[in-house]
Each structure stands twice: as C-alpha cells, then as structure tokens.
C-alpha cells in the first residue's frame, strides 16, 4: 500500500509563474519530509526538507508547506524556470526505527519558456 | 571530491545470469541503500545496511542479494531468480541519524 502519494503525474507551468507540487501521506508516524529533483537517467538530488515541528521551510525559490492535520505537503517554486523541468519526488520518514524513506511516484514538472 | 559512484552506467544481463552492480561512497556515511525505479513508479527499497557486516531486506528483496564488507562499498547482485530485472537501480547513503539520503547516478539494467 502506497504510504506516500503524488496524485498528479505531470504539471506544466509558464516560466516566471508559480509551480505547486502536492504530496499526501497516510502514516501518522512520519515526522520528516523531503523533496528530491530527478533528471532522466540520473540519481535524485536533494532539494529541501521539513520537520513535523514546522509548517513551512524556505530555501531561495523553493518553499515546502506541511499540513499535518491533512497529512499533506506541497512544494512551491517561484518563479519557475525552464531548468526546473524535472521529476519531483516527495519522501517521508519516521525517525524512530530504521529511519527509511518512503517515496511517492513523482510529478513531472515542465516549465514552458 | 566526495560522492557516490555507481558502475557500470548500463548493464546487460542474459537469461539465467547473475550480475553485480557496484556502489561506492567516500562520504564516510554509515547507512547505504539500494532502490529500484520502474517507469511511472517511485523508488522501491530493495536492501539497506546501517552498519558494516549487517543488512536488511527492503520491500522487494526477492531475487536480489547484497554484502557490506566495507563501509564504503555496498554491491547489489541481481540473481537469476529475479524474473523482471529490467529497471533503473539507484544506490544511496546517509550519515548517522540524519534523514537525508544522497544518491548515486544510477545503473540501468537491461535483459538480452
């Protein structure tokens, strides 16, 4: 059963506008969340993360929002740039136990120049 | 320059053959992981190792084997028991109790 879900397989956004990527999770034990960016035939690269004690974390053009009651997080990219075109994976972990990451299925973002 | 290397970039397997994918890291990370990615799917955990000489099965370990004889190395063997091995294989590592995993460039395995 998929514990981390990204229900939008793809998203297209105009350059300069905001990109919003969404992620839902089912396991209430998850307390740390990460976003990775992946280009074809390459390994994912870490983008930004958030702990469950926060509801927002910002790093330059990237902001992650966490809504624990809804078990939902989102990644905002503003302004979007063509180089942001990639597949974005959200991941979650429970810091007790093995501390493994559970990944969503990814959202392919295309930023149109 | 620290990082994770995976070799080869492409690997071809014949029917009934075992193949081994290499993963090396010079980040001095304690934990290492193997994932499999199929088209349209997320990353699924095959095996992980939190310390040398110890490893655990992930969600899809059947048909795979690993070893962790050195901290910097975590090779994955795809055995003939794995009936659908064609996929993109990713190795990752993590330091201590940090949550962030760092990934290698991946190996694409194809069946002849």
Q: Determine which helix (DSSP H) or strand (DSSP E) holds A23, and give its type and residue range.
A: strand A19-25
What pLDDT is recorded for position A97?
67
Does the beta carbon of B90 lie under 8 angstroms from any beta carbon of chain A?
yes
* Residue A52 three-state SS: coil
Residue A93's closest chain B neighbor by CA? Answer: B99
> Which of A37, A101, A102, A108 should be substituted to probe chain B, the one whose Cβ sees the most B Cβ atoms within 10 Å?
A101
CA–CA separation, B88 vs B44, rounded Å?
11
Query: In Å, how far from its chain's centre is CA A60?
Result: 15
Confidence at residue A62, expressed as pLDDT on a 0 to 100 scale? 98
pLDDT higher for B41 or A90?
A90
Dihedral sign, CA of A48, A68, B56, A37? negative
Query: Cα–Cα distance between B81 and B77 in angstroms, integer?
Result: 11
Q: Is the previous residue joined to A79 through a cis bond, with omega within 30 degrees of 0? A: yes
Buried b (16+ CB within 10 A) or exposed e, A30-45: bbbbbbbbbeeeebbe
Write down the H helix ranges in chain A: none
pLDDT single digits (tens) A19-32:
999 999 999 999 99
| Residue A17, CA atoms < 13 Å, CB-side half-sphere | 12
| Closest listed residue to residue A31, CA positions, set A13, A49, A19, A44 | A49
pLDDT > 70: what percent of chain B?
Answer: 98
What's chain A's length in residues?
113
Question: Best of B5, B33, B43 to disrupt the A interface by mutation (most A CBs within 10 Å)?
Answer: B43
On whether the CB atoms of residues A102 and A6 are closer than 8 A, the answer is no
Residues A32-85 pLDDT 10s: 999 999 998 899 999 999 999 999 999 999 999 999 999 999 999 999 999 999
pLDDT level of residue A105 (50, 70, 90 thresholds)? very high
A42 chain-B contacts, CB cut-off 8 A: 105-106
Q: Which residues in chain B are contacts of A44 at CB distance < 8 A?
A: 43, 90, 103
SS3 for A55?
Answer: coil
Residues B2-55 pLDDT 10s: 699 999 999 998 888 999 999 999 999 999 999 999 987 889 999 999 999 999
Q: Which residue has the tokens 């201590």?
A: B96
- In which element (H, E) is residue A46 found? strand A45-51
User: What is the model's pLDDT at position A37?
Assistant: 97
Q: How many CB pairs under 8 A join A and B?
A: 59
Task: Give B-chain residues touching A89 at CB under 8 angstroms.
Answer: 42-43
Q: For an interface test with A, give the residue of B54, B91, B101, B108 to mutate (most A CBs within 10 A).
A: B101
């Amino acid at each position: 059963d998929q514990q981390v879900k990204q229900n939008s397989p793809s998203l297209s956004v105009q350059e300069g506008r905001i990109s919003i990527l969404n992620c839902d999770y089912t396991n209430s034990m998850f307390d740390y969340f990460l976003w990775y960016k992946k280009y074809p035939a390459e390994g994912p690269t870490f983008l930004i993360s958030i702990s469950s004690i926060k509801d927002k974390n910002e790093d330059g053009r990237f902001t992650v929002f966490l809504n624990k009651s809804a078990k939902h997080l989102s990644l905002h990219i503003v302004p979007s740039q063509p180089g942001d075109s990639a597949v974005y994976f959200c991941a979650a972990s429970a810091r007790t136990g093995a501390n493994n990451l559970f990944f969503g299925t990814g959202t392919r973002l295309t930023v149109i120049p | 320059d620290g990082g994770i290397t995976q070799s080869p970039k492409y690997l071809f397997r014949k029917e009934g053959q075992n193949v081994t994918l290499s993963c090396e890291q010079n980040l001095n990370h304690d934990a290492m992981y193997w994932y499999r990615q199929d088209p349209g799917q997320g990353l699924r955990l095959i095996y992980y190792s939190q310390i040398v000489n110890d490893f655990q099965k992930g969600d899809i370990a059947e048909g795979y084997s690993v070893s962790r004889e050195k901290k910097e190395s975590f090779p994955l063997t795809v055995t003939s028991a794995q009936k659908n091995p064609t996929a993109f294989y990713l190795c990752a590592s993590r330091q201590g109790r940090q949550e962030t995993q760092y990934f290698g460039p991946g190996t694409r395995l194809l069946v002849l």
